[in-house]
Structure 1
Amino acid sequence: MLPVLLISIDNTVLNFALPAISTATRPSGTQLLWMIDIYPLVLAGLLVAMGSLGDRVGRRRLLLIGATGFGLVSIGAAFSPTIEWLIVARAVLGFFGAMLMPSTLSLLRSTFTDRDQRRLAIAIWATGFAAGSALGPVVGGILLEHFAWGSVFLLAVPLLVPLLVLAPVLVPESRDPHPGRIDVPSIGLSLATMLPTVYGIKAIAQHGVTVPSVLPVVIGLVLGVLFVRRQLRLPVPMLDMSLFRAGAFSGAVVVNLLSVTALVGCLFFISQHLQLVLGLSPLSAGLVLVPGLAAMIIAGLLVVPIARRVRPSRVVPLALLVSASGFALIALSGATIDSVGIGIAFVLLGVGIGAAETVSNELIVASAPAEKAGAASAVSETAYELGAVLGTAILGTILTASYRQAVQLPDTLTAAQQHAAGETLGGAVSVASDLPAETAAELLDSARHAFDSGVGLSAWIGVALVIAAVVVAATALRRAR
């Protein structure tokens, strides 16, 4: 549970630290998005490779190596002097983070062989994400009100030290009894598929459909085809493609991908709206989301006895429709939504996604043979992290582009101030702190209206993504028991 708490706390804390990071480092809009995206991008590109590696060298061993590296690099990230340094640190955190997540879920698969026990174990595992997300805003809010933004990265240390001490004693080692060799070309192809694809999606969202923005996507898809062909030819592949022939497995993966894309994209603009538009402190903004995250925990646990009796093709779509209503509430309210409305919307999001992801994650693990638990878990985590990348890449970039087009800057600003204020809302708030009161008020009013102009559109995209997940769940999971 400790690595799960760590990853989820890190994801939520970073969203709430964005205003402080923007104020301290004054990044461009592109740099801010890359600082967020580079971690899940590297993580997603390496998860399959690390999951397969854990099957071979031992899942517990890989977990401990990843924890050590993650803790050390987190300390470096906390003291990053520039935004470029922070982006590099986040990339290295993604490398070690890829060792953590597949190991946790695959260790559950090997420890709990009874399906009812395993379903409950995975529900508790999934609540670790929600619990960490709930703790992140509160603990992070306290830290951000009293210390510099780098303190949020130091949260990794108290979580990883007990893991390194207790895991060798309490967690049994497990691995594939008949592993193949580690295939370095497959690792390279998996990473090379992810990097240009996501970069291209970001470029399309920002610049439209042009040759320079579409070309990386094409390159990524070609490399993805080469990766799949290589896996089909290898006697012991890094990723067993036969897993995807099961509708329950592939359908559950797609459901996770779409729902997480919507959720993370929503968190990107909600966290900034609460602090930079409504003027809440980081702690107060975090507390607004706590009821929704608590609802996610409760829904994930309550769905376990229901999932024993009701088919996934009914449970998952119904849960996701509840989430869609939360996105619709934000979309219909638009710029007028207040903290109470956001709190209610996030409760609906939490109930739906908490229940749906417990069922879908259990289906992914149950559909794979025990000896391939690491690779199957890695696919599940890849969907989660790719969703996190796409959430900020698509919704975040649309929001940033909308802001840039709508913001009206006072003529009295210097060139440097115009650049900072014209890139992000956080940059405008930072610039306003150095301006006379009347000019600052004019800038902030324009910047906040410009930011909120893209909130409604982003929320409607979230609705569409969740409805697409409903359709996939109702069709692909209909044979799953």
Structure 2
Amino acid sequence: MSTLPTTAPSVVTPARAGARGWLALVVLMLPVLLVSIDNTVLSFALPSISQALEPSGTGMLWIIDAYPLVLAGLLVSMGSLGDRIGRRRLLMIGATGFAAVSIAAAFAPTTELLIAARASLGFFGAMLMPSTLSLLRSVFTDRDQRRLAIAIWASGFAAGSALGPIVGGLLIEHFWWGSVFLLAVPVLIPLLVLTPLLIPESRDPNPGPIDPVSILLSLAAMAPVVYGIKSLASEGFSVVGVLAIAIGVTAAVLFVRRQLARPIPMLDMRLFRRASFSGAVLINLLSVVSLVGFLFFVSQHLQLVIGLSPIESGLVLLPGLATMIVSGLVVVPIARRVRPSIVIPIGLLISACGYGLIALVGGDAPASTLLISFVLLGAGIGAAETVSNEMIISSAPADKAGAASAVSETAYELGAVLGTATLGTILTASYRSAVVLPDGLSGAQAHAARETLGGATTVAAQLPSDLARGCSSPPGTRSIPASRSRPASVRC
């Protein structure tokens, strides 16, 4: 009798992306750069906004926080929606809405309308980010290519966060503050034209129903926690602050329990049982807290304390930006040979050295110290985020790429919120306690000068030079030097 020959099962090798795939990556980088730039571009526009709209200190923080707060609260929901209706379709909807609202934000006449516009940008921005990372996985099925593509993606996100102040400084130097919002229009038009041509549609083949209760719970878990942190940081211990955090934590617990109980959850919580996934998400969170918190501080310190122009201040950060990009790319071949458990801690340690340098120098840190600090911070963050993002995408099932990407982006945006909410509020409280105002100010002038550094320089420009410079400063503090356009200053 003859026997049939036996053959070993063949191993399917994922197809490698060609030139079309890399062009698709370029297109997907556009919303990444835009959303990350939007996280920090306002940093250098804050003094101009302070003068034009005269917001309170709390209003100033909400102008910054409204965007990442809404963005973070909706990312998981939008990631799940993209899995259902199509990730490319959601990307196109988000890009169209983001461009339209950006035009409205550029011409907002009041603080309240600007905050509302920033919140609306967060709504449409939440459609952009999960779509880019999940579509990237569908384009690059080969893991080595995907690792490089994610490194470029992560470097783009980090670079955009650092590029925001530079772009903001350049625009504010030559145009009015609203120009930082109009930047979105020329970036998103190529995206809307090229996406249908280069990027295939992808979705979950077996999506579950849309769950409005889970969407509301995800929002309720985010907003109260951030509000509570802001309240405790600015006003000290308070019942309101503690209650807000308790409400947020309760909503988060209910959200998790609902996801575990549903047959097809909006977010598969079993992903967090994987140490590589949950650890990588935590790394993203901590990295962005340190990055955005640093930029919130340094953008105002360079302009309003050291006295640099917006563009000069942005150029101080340029070496750190370049380091962040190079670090993210250089770590790719290293990550093939060295375990993430070694690469990531080293990256975070380097970032910590950047903060440590500022702590050693203190409040009188010159521009050169801030430049070196940001180089160290950028080197560590660039390496750590590249490795952590690849871990997140690789550890999640392909059909849940949108939800997994949304978790990664939620960590980014929550980090942006916490970075400004904690460090920004602490700096505002410190400023209010140290500022010394001269006699003779009106009630409105005293209130504006006491609220923010930008308000102080605006009031100083309205006073006679002898009155503006005649106040004394408390020990250990320094004055706000006059900028090129403002001959007078108040001291804090």
Q: Who is 1:477 aligned against?
A: none
Q: Who is 1:186 aligned against?
A: 214
Q: Who is 1:169 aligned against?
A: 197
Question: For 1:351-390, what per-residue CA distance to the aligned partner results, in whole angstroms no more than 9, with x for missing partners?
Answer: 0000000000111111100000000000000011001000
Matches of 2:216 and 2:479, distance apart in 1: 39
Matches of 1:81 and 1:33, distance apart in 2: 18
Report the aligned-residue RMSD.
Answer: 1.6
Q: Who is 1:317 aligned against?
A: 345
How many residues align structurally?
Answer: 452
- How far apart are residue 107 of structure 1 and its match? 0.7
Give the aligned residue type for 2:231.
A
Give the aligned residue type for 2:401.
A
Q: Who is 1:65 aligned against?
A: 93
Matches of 2:256 and 2:105, distance apart in 1: 35
**Would you say 1:99 and 2:127 are equivalent positions?**
yes
Matches of 2:186 and 2:83, distance apart in 1: 28
Q: Who is 2:248 aligned against?
A: 220
- How far apart are residue 451 of structure 1 and its match? 8.9
Matches of 1:451 and 1:402, distance apart in 2: 14
Aligned with 1:386: secondary structure?
helix
Is the 1:51–1:375 Cα contact (8 Å) retained in structure 2? Answer: yes
Q: Who is 1:290 aligned against?
A: 318
Aligned with 2:45: secondary structure?
helix
- How far apart are residue 141 of structure 1 and its match? 2.0
Matches of 2:356 and 2:145, distance apart in 1: 36
**Would you say 1:81 and 2:109 are equivalent positions?**
yes
Give the aligned residue type for 2:226.
V
Is the 1:78–1:150 Cα contact (8 Å) retained in structure 2? Answer: yes
Q: Who is 1:21 aligned against?
A: 49
Matches of 2:318 and 2:38, distance apart in 1: 16
Q: 1:365 aligns with which of 373, 387, 393?
A: 393
Matches of 1:275 and 1:372, distance apart in 2: 45
Q: 1:350 aligns with which of 373, 378, 395?
A: 378
**Would you say 1:232 and 2:260 are equivalent positions?**
yes
Give the aligned residue type for 1:364.
I
Matches of 1:391 and 1:143, distance apart in 2: 24
Question: For 1:74-109, what per-residue CA distance to the aligned partner results, in whole angstroms no more than 9, with x for missing partners?
Answer: 000000001111000000000000000000001111
Aligned with 1:308: secondary structure?
helix
Matches of 2:355 and 2:313, distance apart in 1: 18
Instruction: Assess, with a 3 A threshold, how the Cα gap between structure 1 residues 72 and 15 changes in structure 2: closer, same or farther.
Output: same
Q: Who is 2:428 aligned against?
A: 400
Instruction: Assess, with a 3 A threshold, how the Cα gap between structure 1 residues 398 and 451 changes in structure 2: closer, same or farther.
Output: farther
Instruction: Assess, with a 3 A threshold, how the Cα gap between structure 1 residues 445 and 18 changes in structure 2: closer, same or farther.
Output: farther
Q: Who is 1:473 aligned against?
A: none
Question: For 1:174-224, what per-residue CA distance to the aligned partner results, in whole angstroms no more than 9, with x for missing partners?
Answer: 000110111111111101111111111111111222211100111111111
Superposition pairs for residues 327-476 of structure 1, below 5 Å? 327-442=355-470, 449=477
Q: Which runs of 5+ in 2 are unaligned?
A: 1-28, 481-492
Q: 1:260 aligns with which of 288, 305, 310?
A: 288
Aligned with 2:322: secondary structure?
helix
Matches of 1:450 and 1:224, distance apart in 2: 43
Instruction: Assess, with a 3 A threshold, how the Cα gap between structure 1 residues 172 and 124 changes in structure 2: closer, same or farther.
Output: same
Is the 1:425–1:451 Cα contact (8 Å) retained in structure 2? Answer: no
Is the 2:438–2:468 Cα contact (8 Å) retained in structure 1? Answer: no
Give the aligned residue type for 1:223.
A
Q: Who is 1:137 aligned against?
A: 165
Percent of counterpart pairs with the same letter?
A: 72
- How far apart are residue 140 of structure 1 and its match? 2.4
Instruction: Assess, with a 3 A threshold, how the Cα gap between structure 1 residues 234 and 297 changes in structure 2: closer, same or farther.
Output: same
Give the aligned residue type for 1:71.
A
Question: For 1:373-421, what per-residue CA distance to the aligned partner results, in whole angstroms no more than 9, with x for missing partners?
Answer: 0000000000110010001111111111111111111111110000000
Aligned with 1:335: secondary structure?
coil
Matches of 1:448 and 1:289, distance apart in 2: 26
TM-score by length of 1: 0.92
Aligned with 1:266: secondary structure?
helix
Give the aligned residue type for 1:414.
S
- How far apart are residue 254 of structure 1 and its match? 0.9
Matches of 1:172 and 1:444, distance apart in 2: 64
Q: Who is 2:174 aligned against?
A: 146
Instruction: Assess, with a 3 A threshold, how the Cα gap between structure 1 residues 379 and 442 changes in structure 2: closer, same or farther.
Output: farther
Is the 2:72–2:409 Cα contact (8 Å) retained in structure 1? Answer: yes
Give the aligned residue type for 2:94.
G
Instruction: Assess, with a 3 A threshold, how the Cα gap between structure 1 residues 143 and 52 changes in structure 2: closer, same or farther.
Output: same
Aligned with 2:428: secondary structure?
helix
Matches of 2:472 and 2:337, distance apart in 1: 54
Matches of 1:260 and 1:109, distance apart in 2: 23
Rg comparison, structure with higher value: 2
Is the 2:166–2:317 Cα contact (8 Å) retained in structure 1? Answer: no
Aligned with 2:462: secondary structure?
coil
Q: Who is 2:84 aligned against?
A: 56
Structure having the larger proportion of residues in helix = 1
Q: 2:228 aligns with which of 200, 203, 206?
A: 200
- How far apart are residue 337 of structure 1 and its match? 1.1
Q: Which runs of 5+ in 1 are unaligned?
A: 453-481
**Would you say 1:247 and 2:275 are equivalent positions?**
yes
Q: Who is 2:16 aligned against?
A: none
Q: Which has the higher contact order (CA 8 A, sep 6+)?
A: 1
Q: Who is 1:478 aligned against?
A: none
- How far apart are residue 308 of structure 1 and its match? 0.5
Is the 2:39–2:68 Cα contact (8 Å) retained in structure 1? Answer: no
- How far apart are residue 258 of structure 1 and its match? 1.4
Is the 1:130–1:294 Cα contact (8 Å) retained in structure 2? Answer: no
Give the aligned residue type for 1:184.
P
Moved more, 132-141 or 201-210: 132-141
Is the 1:257–1:383 Cα contact (8 Å) retained in structure 2? Answer: yes
- How far apart are residue 111 of structure 1 and its match? 1.5
Is the 1:428–1:444 Cα contact (8 Å) retained in structure 2? Answer: no
